[in-house]
Amino acid sequence: MKIVFAGTPIFAAQALRAIDRAGHEIVLVLTQPDRRAGRGMQLHASPVKAFALEKNIPILQPATLQRNSADSQKRVQAQDAYDRLSHLSFDAMVVVAYGLILPQEILDLAKRNGRYGCFNIHASLLPRWRGAAPIQRSIESGDSKTGISIMQMDAGLDTGDTVLVREVSIDASETGATLHDRLAVLGADLMVEILCLLDQGQALNRTFQPKDGITYASKILKAEGQINWSLSAPEIDRRIRAFNPFPGATSCLNAEAFKFWTSAIPTNVSFVKTGAPGEVMGFEGKHVYIQCGQGVIEIHEMQKPGGKRMDACACLKRYRSQEKIIQFLKE
């Protein structure tokens, strides 16, 4: 099949590679414009663009697909994208974490002349966690399961009919990074499965999303990473794991923001007294134990400013003597 692919980050690149590997022809890639990043603020291509360049796939990088944009330069880019798609021969469009809104006229192009339409890989069990950050929000909220929904796109925010859904469990040690990687592989496999069914002429089973159970996964803000030690230990643990790797969970010692990478709820460690929220209660092996608003959390890995990710105990003891760390996170 001839496929138009729209996506930007690593999650999308995983699907693009799988579609290419399955033998489908990628006739055009849409991805967001190059972004400046790193200390030198150099322009960097998205993972999707990098793969397209490697495979010599044509690329478009409009800043918007809205032909009525107030910005004249963006209008020109959107018009160019519309014209390219209008004259392009393709069978279906696949959208994965693209980051731009597809207007109705683009969705209509994907259905013109007997085409199969536009499909989206979404990392949740729709209608739960529509929106920008379903992976992180599912961990943060303590969900026991999530999954992948392959959706036939419409003009709404993740409101289209689902055509294939697969569930996975979320275990107690799951991080945003590990769940992202698992779902990226699953989403790619399921999308290939859908394309193969279409290529064989088989009809897809479309399921209307129920109105009950709708939740929205709002975009993760950097400020959310600041740990509030007055919350309960389970709440803090879920946030540390959900925000790994972005935006990262942080807390300050002498105005320096330490990053917290992994954590758990201790099962066999108890303390004689209860400390104030944010107080270090003790050390055991490689772990550090910190008092929360309710309960104690076990910190496994930390990172000091400018340093490397390491065992939490080693990280704190390198910074200060054990006696002085008692004031940690209260300043």
For residue 258, give the CATH number of its domain: 3.10.25.10
Residue 241 has pLDDT above 70, yes or no: yes
Domain match, 135 and 282 both: no
Of these ranges, 201-210, 276-285, 303-312, the one predicted with the greatest mean pLDDT is: 201-210
Which pLDDT value is given to residue 331?
A: 42
Q: 247-271 pLDDT, tens per residue? A: 999 998 767 789 999 999 998 877 7
Which pLDDT value is given to residue 38?
A: 67
Q: Between 319 and 232, whose confidence is greater?
A: 232
Residues found in the chain: 331
Domain match, 129 and 31 both: yes
List the domain range (segments joined by +) for residue 152.
Answer: 2-217
DSSP string covering 172-223, please? TT--HHHHHHHHHHHHHHHHHHHHHHHHTTPPP--BPPPSTT--EEPPPPGG
Share above pLDDT 90 across residues of the chain, in percent, rounded to a whole number: 82
* Strand pairing category for 216-217 and 162-169: unpaired
Q: 58-99 pLDDT, tens per residue? A: 999 999 999 999 999 999 999 999 999 999 999 999 999 999
Q: 185-218 pLDDT, tens per residue? A: 999 999 999 999 999 999 999 999 999 999 999 9
165 DSSP assignment:
E
Which pLDDT value is given to residue 327?
A: 52
Strand, helix or coil for residue 257:
strand
| Inter-residue contact 301 to 312 (CB < 8 Å) | yes
Which token pair is 35? 């972004």
Given 217, 246, 265, the domain boundary residue is 217
Domain match, 267 and 155 both: no
Rounded CA-CA distance 176/255 in Å is 27
Average pLDDT, the chain: 92
Domain match, 52 and 193 both: yes
Share above pLDDT 70 across residues of the chain, in percent, rounded to a whole number: 94
Facing residues of 164 across strands?
Answer: 150
Domain match, 172 and 301 both: no
Which pLDDT value is given to residue 6?
A: 98
Domain match, 295 and 158 both: no
CA-to-CA dists, residue 72 to 35, 80, 87, angstroms: 21, 12, 23
Domain match, 26 and 145 both: yes
Domain match, 103 and 204 both: yes
Q: Does the bond joining 305 to the residue before it have cis omega, within 30 degrees of 0?
A: no
Taking the model in full, what pTM does it have? 0.93
Residue 330 has pLDDT above 50, yes or no: no
The domain total for the chain is 2
Domain CATH for 15? 3.40.50.170
Given 188, 217, 246, the domain boundary residue is 217
Domain match, 124 and 194 both: yes
Strand, helix or coil for residue 155:
coil
Q: pLDDT-based confidence at 320, cuts 50/70/90?
A: low
Domain match, 91 and 236 both: no
Tally of CB atoms within 10 A around 273: 7
Domain match, 184 and 255 both: no
Rounded CA-CA distance 58/6 in Å is 12
Domain match, 58 and 144 both: yes
Q: 132-162 pLDDT, tens per residue? A: 999 999 999 999 999 999 999 999 999 999 9
Given 194, 217, 240, the domain boundary residue is 217
